[in-house]
Amino acid sequence: MERFGFVGLPNAGKSSLYNALAGGGALAAPYAFATTDPNVGVAKVPDTRLERLAEMSESKKVVHAAVQFVDIGGLVEGASTGEGLGNRFLAHIREVDAIVFLLRAFPDTDVPGPDDPLECLRVLEIELALADLETLDAQITKKRKAARVDKALQAEVAALDEAHAVLAEGTPLYRADLSDDVREALRPWFLLTAKPVIALVNVGEDDLDRIEEITAPVRAELGERAEVIGMCVQLEAEAAQFTGTERVEMLEALGLGDGALERFIHSAYEILGLRTFLTTGEKESRAWTFRAGSTAPQAAGRIHTDFQRGFIRAEVIRWDELLEIGSWAKAREAGKMRLEGKEYVVQDGDVIEFRFNV
């Protein structure tokens, strides 16, 4: 399952965001990956398509797609040299698939810390860039020597040199203009600043009508490099303690509209190129996560490796088409199911039944 790490200065709102996701019933299951750090949550990805299909099939069970969130803890200036949680902290970041920068924009004299989101971003990025520089410095000389003998290593060394030059200027790699080849060569290095980023600007309760304005400088700074979302995490966490219509009323009363959590989870899903296909039946309806561009056998492998190995073909229909027809049996009868083979590239929103043979 894909994992997102919350990174921010102390008091940025990381734990509040975690609670917001946990409180809203979003936390499908607590997941402890280490006793020293129990703050890993599984958040289900909201999906009305799935709910409607489950209703249609009168499914006994409904299983949403899910992503993991980790509340990593506060990063302080000097983390790269061992300040604060230091290296243990950085190791946790290394394990995630994407980073969520929590940028504080709420003023509160009782809660210490900077409230300029751009300033917060700068400190976070410099610490992570320094940590990456250190990783490279520790290895680059050895690699260079090896490359003199083994020419095959030259491309990797060139990529490391390019990354080093970028980082030495204090620029995180996700912001740099690197070719796909260079990014690929850097992948085995698990560099912190090469990970995809969501910047979450945490605004104050009194600034709900200024979210766009407060978020704009961060958006301008990051451009296309990252997803930028503004919300008041505190209020979202309060609303998340309610469910169903109560939550809708609460969100309305707080002036939060549909709530930003769903939007946030969708963005998280989106930036990793994740997509959803669905299965539906009386026993269960379920949303499955796959990578954009996956073929039918690869998608089948998300259910079970046997499905991939023994793949014969897939019966496919778009979710809305199926809903309109009203049932799987009727769709089949009407000849509306497409038979797709090994080469088929699965689309977001496909409802699929796999035929396989093991």
DSSP-assigned letter for residue 260:
S
Binding to Mg ion by residue 234, rule CB under 5 A?
no
Query: How long is the chain?
Result: 358
**Residue 108 or 213 with smaller CB distance to Mg ion:** 108
**Residue 7 or 178 with smaller CB distance to ligand ATP:** 7
CB of 6 to ligand ATP, least distance (A): 7
**Residue 76 or 146 with smaller CB distance to ligand ATP:** 76
3-state secondary structure of 154: helix
CB of 101 to ligand ATP, least distance (A): 11
Backbone angles phi, psi at 289, to 5 degrees: -90, 135
**Residue 87 or 179 with smaller CB distance to ligand ATP:** 87
200 contacts 102 by C-beta, under 8 angstroms: yes
CB of 172 to ligand ATP, least distance (A): 20
Q: Which option in ligand ATP, Mg ion, none does residue 108 bind, with CB closer than 5 to 8 A by kind?
A: ligand ATP
Q: Which option in Mg ion, ligand ATP, none does residue 280 bind, with CB closer than 5 to 8 A by kind?
A: none
* 262 contact partners, CB below 8 Å, separation of at least 6: 46
Mask of contacts with Mg ion, 170-209, x by CB under 5 A? Answer: ----------------------------------------
- Choose among 124, 7, 125, 21: nearest CA to 73: 7
**DSSP for 309-327?**
HTEEEEEEEEHHHHHHH--
CB of 110 to Mg ion, least distance (A): 16
Contacting Mg ion within 13-42 (CB under 5 A): 14-15
CB of 235 to ligand ATP, least distance (A): 7
**Which residue's Cβ has the minimum distance to ligand ATP?**
74
- Choose among 91, 49, 46: nearest CA to 73: 91
Q: Which residues form the interface with ligand ATP (CB under 6 A)? A: 8, 10-16, 73-74, 102, 106, 108, 111, 202, 204-205, 232-234
**Nearest-angstrom CA–CA distance, 100 and 79:** 17
Burial class of residue 162, CB neighbours in 10 A (0-12, 13-18, 19+): middle
Report residue 277 as tokens: 């296909």
CB of 13 to Mg ion, least distance (A): 8
**Nearest-angstrom CA–CA distance, 116 and 235:** 19
CB of 238 to ligand ATP, least distance (A): 10
* 114 contact partners, CB below 8 Å, separation of at least 6: 9, 104, 120, 123
**Residue 126 or 158 with smaller CB distance to ligand ATP:** 126
Q: Which option in Mg ion, ligand ATP, none does residue 301 bind, with CB closer than 5 to 8 A by kind?
A: none
**Residue 17 or 346 with smaller CB distance to ligand ATP:** 17
**Residue 162 or 207 with smaller CB distance to ligand ATP:** 207
**Nearest-angstrom CA–CA distance, 191 and 176:** 13
